[in-house]
C-alpha cells in the first residue's frame, strides 16, 4: 500500500477564518495525511527582510497556548507531558504536549506545504520545514493586496518577486481573482475555498413581524469591509426615511451561533471594497438569506442580479436604492430568498469545493 502524501496547512490563529478552511479540508478531502500549524505559534524574531516588507513581529507567546498543571513539579510535569503527547497523537487532545493547537510531523518533512496567506513564511518562522512543493494563498480581491504587512504601492511585478517567486501554485479565494492575478503570476492559479455544513446552515421559517431585519457578521475593524463607513450609515438612512428596518450584527461566535443568527435575518448587506469572501455570504446564502452586495468575491460568482440577489455600487445612495426596492417589492425579496440557497450550493457548496481542493492537490503533487 502506497503511503499517503503529507500536506502541511498553515493558518494565522486558531479559531479564525483560515482555521475553518483547514478544518474543511481535513474533514472533506480524503486520501492525504494532513498536518497544520499557525503563524502565532512560531514567531520570527530578528529576521532580515527586504525594504518592501514590514513584519508584524509576532514575538509574544501564542494567546491560545495552554499551560499545563504541575509545571514546577518535575515528576508530575513529565507525566503530564507524556500523557498529553499520547492523547494528541491519537486525536483526543487538540493541544500538543507544548500547549499549542497544531499537528506536525516529528521529522518536519512533507510533500506539500500550503501557506493560506502569501506572507506567512516571512512573518513566522517555518524555516525548519522540508517540502519540495509550496502553495501560497491570497484571499482578497485586490492585486497587489494592500495593508497587510508590506508597504503599499508595490507593482504587481515587485509583489510577485517578493512574495510568490518561491511557490509552485497560487490559491485564490474567489473565481474573479484568477484573472486578476494571472497576468503577473505565470504558475498555475487555482480557486478553492471552504463551505459550511449544509445541514447546520439551513433556512428556518421566521415568525411574522413588522420589522425587516438586515444582518451583518465579521470583523468590523477591517476597513475594506465598510461596516462603519457604509453599513451603519445605510441603516440609519433607511430608518430616517421611516422604513421599519432593524439591524443586527455578530462579530464573533461559533458556527452554530452564526447559523442561528442568520436563520432570523431577512437580508445581508455586503459593502466590501476588496474581499475574496466574505464568509457572511456563505452563512447567509445557506440559510436562505439573500444579499445586497458589491460586486466582489464570492457574490460576484453566485449572484444573478434580480434572480437570487442584488448588486449595488459602493455608494450610500445606491445601497439605499437597492434595499428600498426590496422593501417596496416584497415579491422580489421572496424570489431572491427562494433561489439563493440552491444557487449557492450548485456553485460553491461542499461538493463543489471538495472537487476544487482535490483538483488543486492532485495537480501540484503530480506535476
Query: Higher pLDDT residue, 270 or 54?
Result: 270
- Model pLDDT for residues 168-221, shown as the tens digit of each residue: 999 999 998 898 889 899 999 999 999 999 999 999 998 889 999 999 999 999
With b for 16 or more beta-carbon neighbours within 10 A and e for fewer, the 61-79 pattern comes to: ebebeeeeeeeeeeeeeee
Q: How confident is the model at residue 93 (pLDDT cuts 50, 70, 90)?
A: low
Structural domains of the chain, ranges and CATH numbers in brackets: 5-65+100-194+351-365 (3.40.50), 212-348 (3.40.50.2000)
Task: Identify which of 262, 261, 241, 260 has the alpha carbon closest to the alpha carbon of residue 319.
Answer: 241
Q: Would the pLDDT of 65 be above 90? A: no
Q: Are strands 112-115 and 32-38 parallel, antiparallel or unpaired?
A: unpaired
Question: What mean pLDDT, rounded, does the chain reach?
Answer: 88
pLDDT digits (tens, 9 = 90+) for 291-308: 999 999 999 999 999 999
Q: Which of 101, 92, 84, 94 is nearest to 41 (CA)?
A: 101
pLDDT of residue 40: 86
pLDDT bin (cut points 50, 70, 90) of residue 123 is confident
Position with higher pLDDT, 166 vs 145: 166
Enter the pTM of the model: 0.86
**How far apart are the C-alpha atoms of 65 and 239, rounded to whole Å?**
45
Amino acid at each position: 500500500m502506497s503511503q499517503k502524501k503529507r500536506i502541511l496547512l498553515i493558518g494565522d490563529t486558531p479559531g479564525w477564518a483560515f482555521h475553518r478552511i483547514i478544518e474543511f479540508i481535513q474533514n472533506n478531502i480524503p486520501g492525504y495525511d494532513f498536518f497544520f500549524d499557525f503563524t502565532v505559534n512560531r514567531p520570527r524574531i530578528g529576521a532580515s527582510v527586504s525594504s518592501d516588507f514590514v513584519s508584524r513581529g509576532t514575538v509574544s507567546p501564542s494567546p491560545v497556548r495552554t499551560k499545563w498543571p504541575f509545571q514546577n513539579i518535575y515528576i508530575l510535569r513529565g507525566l503530564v507531558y507524556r500523557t498529553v503527547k499520547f492523547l494528541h497523537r491519537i486525536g483526543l487532545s487538540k493541544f500538543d504536549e507544548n500547549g499549542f493547537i497544531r499537528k506536525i510531523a516529528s521529522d518536519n518533512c512533507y510533500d506539500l506545504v500550503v501557506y493560506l496567506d502569501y506572507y506567512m513564511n516571512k512573518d513566522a518562522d517555518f524555516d525548519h520545514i522540508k517540502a519540495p512543493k509550496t502553495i501560497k494563498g491570497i484571499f482578497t480581491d485586490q492585486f497587489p493586496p494592500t495593508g497587510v504587512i508590506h508597504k503599499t504601492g508595490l507593482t504587481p511585478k515587485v509583489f510577485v518577486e517578493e512574495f510568490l517567486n518561491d511557490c509552485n501554485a497560487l490559491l485564490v479565494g474567489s473565481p474573479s481573482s484568477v484573472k486578476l492575478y494571472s497576468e503577473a503570476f505565470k504558475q498555475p492559479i487555482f480557486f478553492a475555498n471552504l463551505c459550511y455544513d449544509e445541514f447546520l446552515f439551513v433556512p428556518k421559517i421566521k415568525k411574522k413581524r413588522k420589522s425587516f431585519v438586515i444582518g451583518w457578521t465579521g470583523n468590523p475593524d477591517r476597513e475594506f469591509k465598510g461596516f462603519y463607513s457604509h453599513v451603519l450609515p445605510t441603516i440609519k438612512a433607511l430608518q430616517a426615511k421611516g422604513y421599519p428596518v432593524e439591524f443586527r450584527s455578530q462579530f464573533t461566535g461559533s458556527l452554530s451561533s452564526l447559523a442561528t443568527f442568520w436563520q432570523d435575518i431577512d437580508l445581508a448587506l455586503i459593502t466590501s471594497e476588496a474581499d475574496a469572501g466574505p464568509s457572511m455570504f456563505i452563512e447567509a446564502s445557506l440559510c436562505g438569506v439573500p444579499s445586497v452586495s458589491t460586486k466582489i468575491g464570492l457574490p460576484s460568482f453566485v449572484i444573478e442580479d434580480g434572480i437570487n440577489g442584488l448588486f449595488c455600487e459602493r455608494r450610500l445612495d445606491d445601497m439605499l436604492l437597492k434595499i428600498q426596492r426590496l422593501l417596496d417589492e416584497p415579491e422580489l425579496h421572496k424570489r431572491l430568498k427562494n433561489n439563493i440557497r440552491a444557487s449557492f450550493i450548485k456553485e460553491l457548496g461542499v461538493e463543489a469545493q471538495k472537487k476544487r481542493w482535490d483538483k488543486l492537490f492532485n495537480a501540484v503533487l503530480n506535476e
